[in-house]
Structure 1
Amino acid sequence: MKLVVCIPFYLGKFVCERERERQMEKEGGRRWPLVVLTTSPFHGHMTPTLQLATALHAKGFSIAIAHSKLNPPDPSNHPDFIFLPLSDNLSAIDVSSSFTGFIQDLNTNCRPSFREHLIRLTSEQNRGDKSMVVIYDHLMFFAGAVAMDLNLVAILFRSCSAAYYRACLARQQLHQQGKFLEQDFVMQDMVPNHHPLRYKDLPYSKSPIEDWKQRVAIFSQEPHPSAIICNTVKFLEHEVLSQTHQHHQVPFFAVGPLHKIAPSPPTNFLEEDTSCITWLDKQAPKSVIYVSFGSLATLDSKVLVEMAWGLAKSNQSFLWAVRPGSVCGFEWIEFLLEAFRDEIRGRGLIVKWAPQKEVLAHLAVGGFWSHCGWNSTLESISEGVPLICQPFIVDQMANARYVSYIWKIGLELEVLERGEMESMIRRLMVDEEGEEMRLKVAKMKEIIKDSVQNGGSSHDSLEGLVGFILSS
């Protein structure tokens, strides 16, 4: 079956093809393809992958999840899925010395068992070459190459923002010119031809430049996909999405935010402390700032002390999730002084991990101090909550730039000092500036709500994706 070349978000043909395939099913035609999704061991990647899988399963597809044995998903949360463990020979996520080395090992080690799984599934289920489709996490690019070797359709899934992909392209172009952020640029300067990004918004590394050369070489191994899926919303990143489509020249499906399209059981590696919801129930509307830096970020204890006193001196109520082991050299927050605990008593709650989506949806929450990982950013916008942005690594700098500079629904924290932090909290939670941001993000919340409904851009993109898979 042949498809015309599509332009961004042009989904009519795919939707029509899907309806025709449904009719074939009713009339005893060929079975729907088995969709095999890969997920890396990072929480921020696994969560949207499982949400995408849930959305596709609801449309009628059989689902298999290929995952590393490191940080595996819980099969009991998805009893209708097939789970395919991949031999990774990794004992822990360790990106402290070299993120590049970790990703290289992950791809090299998982590849043989993934190939074996695909060959076995094809044989056992008596499926033809085009009755299985692989959707692969962009960090698990080996899966795309294996799929193509076996004449299977390979679709790339980017769980990050389109803005981050643009930042990666800019970084790659600099590398091709023999230039490196770490030595050649003033980080606050704008990147030519890549508005609104500054050099500091591009992914950079504290590792030696040789590590970046190796990283570019590794990611150049990425195969050319048949299509691309992105967990974003058309109105948020329309310009960047169009540029990305022009670069790749394959169908592109913006199907986010997936947590609104396909709510699924949490994939947290830590137990959520739900008692914080009871605490929030007792707080005034929009009075609490929620603080969390996700599942990977680590902080120096001196920075955390500055944060603690910034929160204390702001006189605002706060809910703070401090992940055990996230403070270098300490198990949790045992180093915080009793004077701080006395200062915040009655208006501050510190937990080890929080049910974030439920927290952000709570009426008491009026702001989110975040690392600006893409999942967190989408969840905050989807609930109409403005942000204080404190990015750490990878995509977070580009996301923070769009939040603060383009969408103007947040403030970027650049000086890690208690006085600056206190001021930022007040600006967001008390001042007119913060109220204007709340109004803007409330409107964005409504647009997102519409986008996932029948006739919305994300709803139609998902329908188009289903049609594309059936027609491949």
Structure 2
Amino acid sequence: MAGDGRSPTGRRVVMFPFPFGSHITPMLQLAGLLRARGLAVTVLHADLNAPDPARHPDFTFVSIRESLPDEVVSSPDMVEQMIGLNAACEAPFQAALAELVRGGGPREVACAVVDGQWYKMLGAATRAGVPALALRTDGAATFLTMLATPRLHADGYDRLDELVPGLEPLRLRDLIRVDGSDEETVLRFITRVTDAMRESSSGVVVNTFGAIEGAELAKIKRELSLPAFAVGPLHLVSPAPVGHGRPYAPDRGCLAWLDAQPPRSVLYVSLGSTACVDRAAFVEMAWGLAGSGVPFLWVLRPGSVHGADDVLPFPEELLDTVSCRGKVVGWSPQREVLAHPAVGGFWTHCGWNSIMEGICEGVPMLVQPCFADQTVNARYVTHRWGTGLEIGKVFERTAMARTIRMLMAREQGPQAPKERAHLLKMEASRCVGAGGAASLALDDLVEYMLGL
């Protein structure tokens, strides 16, 4: 346990992040914002991938001391793992929350905020006598598709390439899928999440802002008859950077390399901390980058290429091009890279944190979604916001090179990705400015929490 536990309001909020790095970071960012508005913060956490209390001295940390079966910890099926984590953590979470209520008195704990993937924890909080809100660390569009998915399945909707009514610009093929998980398992998980939201949640908090997802937020409110708070972009409004032990140490030397490049000339390439490609796709990506003539900074962490953890299979005839025009690193300080004046484009897997960082820095994107919410995000980048281009379903070097040159072209029209990206950057800046929408949403959220 850490933290002094004091609160000007005399009230406390309990946070329970999902034990994946991309989920822990926004939860702790939100915790910092609530702490800055006078609420004490207790972070209940799993021992799996636990946050470091030393990085957050203003919070109190309490482990739920869960016991995870080996098959859950090592499951290759991400969705089955999330289902197993819910089952294993429900009882210890409820016990730990009930203990906090007993220790602090009947009024100290105002509410709990649990990650949106913790569907069992919403009911557990209710049984512990604590109202609970869900934090969606993905976008409003993704959550809206989750709410609609059970209905679409029950209706037998199967028109893959037609726009889904009420979810435009999404097609059925853009909705959530997870490689390695069968359709029934994904549906079972989504149904449990949406059922729990309808039955046990007091509201939803979303890391987004109205300028990009205002219509989706309004639909969520109507669908659930619950308040929805758009408190993002959390990485911009958070009072201090949140450190949660990234999986790899960033190579900060890439910033010096960027310093030597002309403005808006470099394409930044990163498929995140989980996604990977096969050798054939990797080789086509490499040739596409080489053929584009564009300087590039490419993040290739261990495991980026199937079966090539130690030595990346660059064709020998490409090595000179890579060393002369490109830079390859194992990991990067992504926010600083995207903010660097030399970066003019972002080839991304479309994870929500990456999408938000790219939008907030005004960087146009090449989209290459891999799984989960990434297909939803990619479709929004290309067909709702107009801030990016599709890299293509078939990895072919000549087409890739052509698309890269289109994205990075200096002369573009008013509706081109570069101009659209600049406009959304200005919207994000207004949102987080003094008296902006993010601040007002956080004020409303705190008022709501104290009234529960």
TM-score, normalised to structure 1's length?
0.87
CA 1:405 to 1:59, structure 2 compared with 1: closer, same or farther past 3 Å? same
CA 1:170 to 1:118, structure 2 compared with 1: closer, same or farther past 3 Å? closer
Tell me by how many angstroms 1:361 deviates: 0.6
Tell me by how many angstroms 1:416 deviates: 1.6
Q: Report if the CA contact (8 A) 1:36-1:134 is conserved.
A: yes
Partner of 1:246: 222
Partner of 1:3: none
Tell me by how many angstroms 1:333 deviates: 4.3
SS at match of 2:205: strand
CA 1:292 to 1:348, structure 2 compared with 1: closer, same or farther past 3 Å? same
CA 1:90 to 1:383, structure 2 compared with 1: closer, same or farther past 3 Å? farther
Partner of 2:184: 210
Q: Report if the CA contact (8 A) 2:12-2:41 is conserved.
A: yes
Q: Is structure 2 residue 265 aligned with structure 1 residue 287?
A: yes
CA offset digits 1:110-148 (Å, max 9, x no partner): 1122122112222233x2156331001011122211111
Structure 2 counterpart of 1:114, from 93, 99, 119: 93
Partner of 1:427: 406
Q: Distance in 2 between matches of 1:350 and 1:333?
A: 13
Q: Report if the CA contact (8 A) 1:324-1:331 is conserved.
A: yes
Q: Report if the CA contact (8 A) 1:135-1:154 is conserved.
A: yes
Tell me by how many angstroms 1:386 deviates: 0.5
Q: Report if the CA contact (8 A) 1:50-1:264 is conserved.
A: no
Matches for 1:34-53 after TM superposition, within 5 Å: 34-53=12-31
Q: Report if the CA contact (8 A) 1:37-1:49 is conserved.
A: yes
CA 1:72 to 1:141, structure 2 compared with 1: closer, same or farther past 3 Å? same
Tell me by how many angstroms 1:322 deviates: 1.3
Q: Which runs of 5 or more structure 2 residues have no equivalent in the other structure?
A: 1-6
CA 1:68 to 1:434, structure 2 compared with 1: closer, same or farther past 3 Å? farther
Structure 1 counterpart of 2:212, from 224, 236, 261: 236
Partner of 1:194: 167
SS at match of 1:319: strand
Tell me by how many angstroms 1:342 deviates: 1.1
CA 1:428 to 1:88, structure 2 compared with 1: closer, same or farther past 3 Å? farther
TM-score, normalised to structure 2's length?
0.91
Tell me by how many angstroms 1:248 deviates: 0.9
SS at match of 2:324: coil
SS at match of 2:167: coil
Structure 2 counterpart of 1:442, from 405, 416, 422: 422
SS at match of 1:37: strand
Structure 1 counterpart of 2:307, from 329, 348, 366: 329
Q: Distance in 2 between matches of 1:215 and 1:124?
A: 34
Q: Distance in 2 between matches of 1:231 and 1:401?
A: 18
Q: Distance in 2 between matches of 1:102 and 1:231?
A: 24
SS at match of 2:296: strand
Tell me by how many angstroms 1:255 deviates: 0.6
Partner of 2:342: 364
Amino acid at match of 1:420: A
Partner of 2:375: 397
Tell me by how many angstroms 1:215 deviates: 2.7
Tell me by how many angstroms 1:216 deviates: 4.4
Q: Distance in 2 between matches of 1:215 and 1:82?
A: 31
CA 1:101 to 1:465, structure 2 compared with 1: closer, same or farther past 3 Å? same
Structure 1 counterpart of 2:439, from 446, 459, 462: 459
Amino acid at match of 1:219: V
Structure 2 counterpart of 1:265, from 231, 242, 253: 242
Partner of 1:10: none
Matches for 1:286-325 after TM superposition, within 5 Å: 286-325=264-303
Tell me by how many angstroms 1:88 deviates: 4.8
Of residues 264-273 and 292-301 in structure 1, the stretch that sits farther from structure 2 once superposed is: 264-273
Partner of 1:143: 121
Q: Is structure 2 residue 254 aligned with structure 1 residue 276?
A: yes
Q: Distance in 1 between matches of 2:75 and 2:337?
A: 29
SS at match of 1:346: helix
Q: Give the share of equivalent positions with the same residue, in percent.
A: 37
Q: Distance in 2 between matches of 1:350 and 1:231?
A: 31
Tell me by how many angstroms 1:169 deviates: 2.9
Q: Which runs of 5 or more structure 1 residues have no equivalent in the other structure?
A: 1-24
RMSD across aligned positions (CA):
2.1
Q: Report if the CA contact (8 A) 2:268-2:297 is conserved.
A: yes
CA 1:226 to 1:421, structure 2 compared with 1: closer, same or farther past 3 Å? same
Q: Is structure 2 residue 111 aligned with structure 1 residue 133?
A: yes
Q: Distance in 2 between matches of 1:70 and 1:444?
A: 37
CA 1:193 to 1:58, structure 2 compared with 1: closer, same or farther past 3 Å? closer
Partner of 1:7: none
